A and B are shown apart, each in its own frame.
Chain A
Amino acid sequence: MLNSAEPIVIIGAGESGTRTALTIRQLGWDGPLTLIGEENTAPYERPPLSKQRLSSPDSPVATITTASELHDRRIDFLQGRRAVGIDRTSQVVSLDNDSTLPYGQLLIATGSRARPLPIAGGDHAITLRQITDIERVLEAVRTPRLCVIGAGLIGLEIAAQAWVHGTDVIVVEAADEVLSRVAPPAMASLIRHRHERSGVSFVLGTQAHRIGRHNDQYIVTLSNGTAIECDRVIAAIGSIPNCELATDAGLLVANGIVVDDQLRSSDPLILSAGDCCSFPAAGSHVRLEAWRNAHDQANVAAQNLAGSHISYVTVPWFWSDQYDFSVQVVGTPSAGATDVERHTHDSATFVFSLDVDGVLVAASGLGTGSSAAKTIRAAQMLIEDRCIVDPAALADPTVSLRAIRKTATT
């Protein structure tokens, strides 16, 4: 284990930073450990912000840990403090109160922020990233008419929650289908139909051009010339990684802080994890905005900060909850050449994506509650092992994926 006297400093107290701090202590590393978080609250989970927080605003905030637990583990938690600079020569982090913190090793886990809408009047649109955004979003999902710009996961989750409140929702999306970045077309259209059955309308293949304001009403003008009148506009068009500290410190940054398989940046004393880092996967570098990635990278970052040399290997996975169903996607659907559908008796639907060699590269499942989870988890193992899978077996709901795994070839 590394010299415990060299302080470890973590910038960002979200999923990745906080889990890293907790795991470092679980591993028995007992040196000075500081967690810097600019948000003025105990570390919390972000996914419920577009789910339970909107349906039951009074439900308790899902905290990752408490200030007292951090204190008990001798993690110096600087709540409400922002890191403003990294001096790599003298190995210090400077803070927004003009103080400095020396580091032996540093983890940058600054996450990402909601992408602002780059159009005239774009600042009229509300975005959702942090707990302090919730009040404005809650008010918006309870207005009579809501326009959501962006049909990604967060946009659709917000649309589903607005429907629960009886709001008329119209979703504008530049691509020709919803969820085009993350789900295969068959799954995406199934999800869109579910929204349409609830009364949510979609304007696809169309961009919002400008947002005008009249008293307390908004007019969203679209690229096709039409205008949408509404009471609030929410923009959910993806996120931008928080890399400014890394860029200013001269680290390699390209759509995220570039790290190697051990999550080390171009400076080996500085690691990065979570939404803000771009890591090697399948022959290139990728940046994910997914909870499990942030969680699992924290685990690897903690071990490597404590002196190990472990590689981060992953198959991307995420879930989303909308209405009474949950979607799970594992792997990279865009790498598929053929899609195979499976429909089960309990009305779960799966789309399996095979590449040109017949290797399973992604699986997407949609069902009530967590009913799709078991199959998706088994599919993950097939994807990890790069198995060639018989499409007929994948389509047959009576054949379990565990059984397929026993006979699959690699």
Chain B
Amino acid sequence: MADNWVRVCETSDVDQEDVIRFDHAESTYAIYRSLDDDFYATEGLCTHEQVHLADGFVMDNIIECPKHNGRFDYTSGAAAASPVCVNLQTYPVKIEGDAVYINIPDDDAELR
């Protein structure tokens, strides 16, 4: 699968321990910044009901869904608390200068 690095935002667009929404090619993603200033990316919608995780709450390595408070580890995508049971897809992130990029494989962008 060919790399497909997509520019998301400036690092300053995401607060520490927070998450923003990023829409690209008819798909939606969630971009996280940890307390240690590391950036992560997952698919944008909760796997329980299709709710934007960017409206959720970040605590340590956990994103808590805004709807029913299901939890995922956003660094690995693993479902961490019910009612969610299906893991999130994660995406590689890189920082160049002040810009945040995520790697979205081409076919993935088509699938979602």
A residues at B contact (CB < 8 Å): 19, 22-23, 62, 64, 291-292, 295, 319, 369-371, 373-374, 377-378, 400, 402
Contact, CB under 8 Å: A373 / B82: no
Contact, CB under 8 Å: A295 / B55: no
Q: Is the interface of A mostly helix, strand, loop or mixed?
A: helix
What residues on B are CB-neighbors of A319 within 8 Å? Answer: 67
Contact, CB under 8 Å: B57 / A374: yes
**Can you give 11 contacting A-B residue pairs, CB < 8 Å?**
A19-B82, A22-B82, A295-B68, A295-B82, A369-B55, A370-B51, A370-B52, A370-B66, A373-B67, A374-B66, A377-B66
Q: Which of B15, B17, B67, B83 contacts A370 (CB 8 A)?
A: B67
B residues at A contact (CB < 8 Å): 15, 17, 49, 51-52, 55-57, 64, 66-69, 82-83
What residues on A are CB-neighbors of B52 within 8 Å? Answer: 369-370
Complex Cα spacing A255 to B52, Å? 38
Complex Cα spacing A400 to B58, Å? 14
Complex Cα spacing A369 to B51, Å? 8
Complex Cα spacing A22 to B82, Å? 10
Q: Which of A319, A369, A373 has the most CB of B within 10 A?
A: A373
What residues on B are CB-neighbors of A62 within 8 Å? Answer: 49
Contact, CB under 8 Å: B68 / A371: no
B37 nearest CB across to chain A (Å): 16
B31 nearest CB across to chain A (Å): 15
Complex Cα spacing A31 to B52, Å? 39
Which single residue of chain B is at the shortest CB-CB distance from A319? B67
Complex Cα spacing A292 to B57, Å? 16
Contact, CB under 8 Å: B55 / A373: yes
Contact, CB under 8 Å: B67 / A378: no
Complex Cα spacing A22 to B83, Å? 11
What residues on B are CB-neighbors of A378 within 8 Å? Answer: 57
Complex Cα spacing A292 to B56, Å? 16
Which single residue of chain B is at the shortest CB-CB distance from A402? B17
Given contacts A22-B82, A62-B49, A373-B56, 16 further A-B contacts (CB under 8 A): A23-B82, A291-B68, A292-B68, A292-B69, A295-B82, A295-B83, A369-B55, A370-B56, A373-B55, A373-B57, A373-B67, A374-B55, A377-B56, A377-B64, A378-B57, A400-B15
A324 nearest CB across to chain B (Å): 14
What residues on B are CB-neighbors of A377 within 8 Å? Answer: 56-57, 64, 66
Q: Which of B15, B55, B69, B82 contacts A371 (CB 8 A)?
A: B55
What residues on A are CB-neighbors of B64 within 8 Å? Answer: 377
Q: Which of A23, A64, A295, A400 has the most CB of B within 10 A?
A: A295
What residues on A are CB-neighbors of B49 within 8 Å? Answer: 62
Complex Cα spacing A369 to B69, Å? 15
Which 5 pairs show the lowest CB-CB distances between chains A and B? A373-B66, A370-B66, A370-B55, A377-B57, A373-B55
Complex Cα spacing A9 to B15, Å? 48
Complex Cα spacing A19 to B67, Å? 18
